[in-house]
Amino acid sequence: MKLLLDNHVFLWLASAPEKLTERALQACRNRHNPIYLSAVSAWEIQVKSQLGKLTLDDPLAELIREQQAINGLRILGVELSHVLELEALPSIHGDPFDRLLVAQTRVESHHLVTADRTVRNYPAHFVW
């Protein structure tokens, strides 16, 4: 099962894994499940950090490198097919970052790992 991490899951996996459910943590630690971080999530984390809405213990690039080494994290870029999939999504969530993560999840046949209950109302596969 391919996993796409929501930004909070990425940060918790790196620094506070106890915040994840047992199911989510086991899925992320299972070496048979490749884990991905969307460039969209990296962008959101960087923006929030620069605006002072999020404090990172280490620079984002370092966090990503660490998770690549520890958990085999892969980066998922944004493709036109992901953007076009937004048209098929109902208007459940207004956050453009989250909507694009759901679109990527659907197009790439991933499971989105997220604690966000609103996002989990979309027609997609989730782990929490």
- Coil vs helix vs strand at 112: strand
Mean pLDDT of the 121-125 span: 96
pLDDT value of residue 73: 97
pLDDT value of residue 117: 95
Mean pLDDT of the 104-112 span: 98
| Per-residue pLDDT tens over the stretch 27-68 | 999 999 999 999 999 999 999 999 999 999 899 999 999 999
pLDDT value of residue 63: 96
Output the six-digit token pair for 98.
């989250």
Instruction: Give the residue carrying structure tokens 């990425």.
Output: 10
Distance CA 48, CA 124 (A): 26
Nearest to 61 by CA among 46, 74, 72: 46
Q: Give the residue extent of every domain in the chain.
A: 3-127
Distance CA 17, CA 12 (A): 5
The answer, as to whether pTM is greater than 0.85, is yes
| Per-residue pLDDT tens over the stretch 72-107 | 999 999 999 999 999 999 989 789 999 999 999 999
pLDDT value of residue 91: 87
Output the six-digit token pair for 107.
């197009």
CB atoms within 10 A of CB 127: 23
Q: Where are the alpha helices (DSSP H) in 21-75?
A: 22-29, 39-50, 60-71
In whole angstroms, how far apart are CA 45 and each of 22, 41, 109? 24, 6, 24
CATH class of 3-127: alpha beta
